[in-house]
Amino acid sequence: MSISERQGKILEILNARNFITVNELAQITFTSPSSIRRDLSAMQNVGLVKRSHGGVTLPDPIQGVASFYDRTHQNIQAKRLIAKKAAALLHDGQSIMVDSSSTAGFLLPYIARLNYATLFTNNIHTALSAIELGIDTHCLGGHSVNGSSALAGTETYKSLADIHVDILFFSSQSLDRYGWISDSTEEENYVRCLMLRAAQKKVFLCDSAKFDKTAVYKLVNLRDVDCAVFDEHFTALETSCKIL
């Protein structure tokens, strides 16, 4: 689902208010209540909003998700190995997108060695680090997700609608044995969905701590990804996806 202008407006309103009714949204957007309900149903299906009796709220903040700083200091050796393997897919002149994950951030030193490469990311920390390394960097706009350095929201969605990159490197919280990639943060999951649509080549980065696990929101199956990069062999995995 690509987000519409009206759905973007709904998210902006919800970021300013904790709760709003369907009728209020209809009045503000000059739209019928039935159209608003259809928008809200579509948005709830991808985890952008949470419907309640007569109205809508933003999803509850995710509990127990480690901060970006903490994640960059977890499984460091595994993430460095993944980045080293994934670097074989990098080439001069590429337009490269990395998501808000800490794993993708470990690719920055390799991207910095390229000539005429352009980087897109929705992570403020990753963008600042890339700029310091001299990488031509574009930070996708938006608001902070649950107080983190990851950005999402209408500005992010609109930016991604106008971008097509050569390659995307992304990660997530979980990968089950059937190849399903999932995450517990709705907004970040939706941003990754749009990133997948905006990339010619899609590369999934995953350390073994995430193997054989499942989170609430499915993103994509490995069969629809061009390549996956692991630090260890996932013995129980059933997939035809190319694995590095």
Question: Which residues on adjacent β-strands are paired with residue 158?
Answer: none
Beta strands 118-121 and 95-98: pairing type?
A: parallel
Taking residues 141-169, what's their average pLDDT? 89
In angstroms, rounded to a whole number, what is the distance separating the alpha carbons of residues 77 and 89? 20
pLDDT tens figures, 49-105: 788 777 888 765 444 444 444 444 556 888 999 999 999 999 999 999 999 998 998
- Tell me the C-alpha distance between 42 and 38, whole Å: 6
**Which listed CATH number (1.10.10.410, 3.40.50.300, 1.10.10.60, 1.10.10.10) goes with 5-57?**
1.10.10.10
Lowest mean pLDDT among 129-138, 145-154, 167-176, 188-197: 145-154
Residue pLDDT, tens place only, 223-237: 999 999 999 999 999
Pick the CATH number of 68-243 from 3.40.50.1360, 3.40.50.720, 2.30.40.10, 3.40.50.300: 3.40.50.1360
Q: Across-strand partners of 170?
A: 204
**What is the maximal distance between C-alpha atoms in the chain?**
55
Pairing, β 242-243 against β 227-230 = parallel
DSSP 233: -
**Which of 67-76, 163-172, 175-184 is least confident?**
67-76
Amino acid letter for position 204: F
> Looking at residue 63, what is its pLDDT?
44
Backbone dihedral angles phi then psi of residue 148, each to the nearest 5 degrees: -95, 180
The residue with tokens 């044995």 is: 177
Domain ranges of the chain: 5-57, 68-243
Measured distance CA(67)–CA(147) in Å, rounded: 9
Res. 1: pLDDT tops 60: no
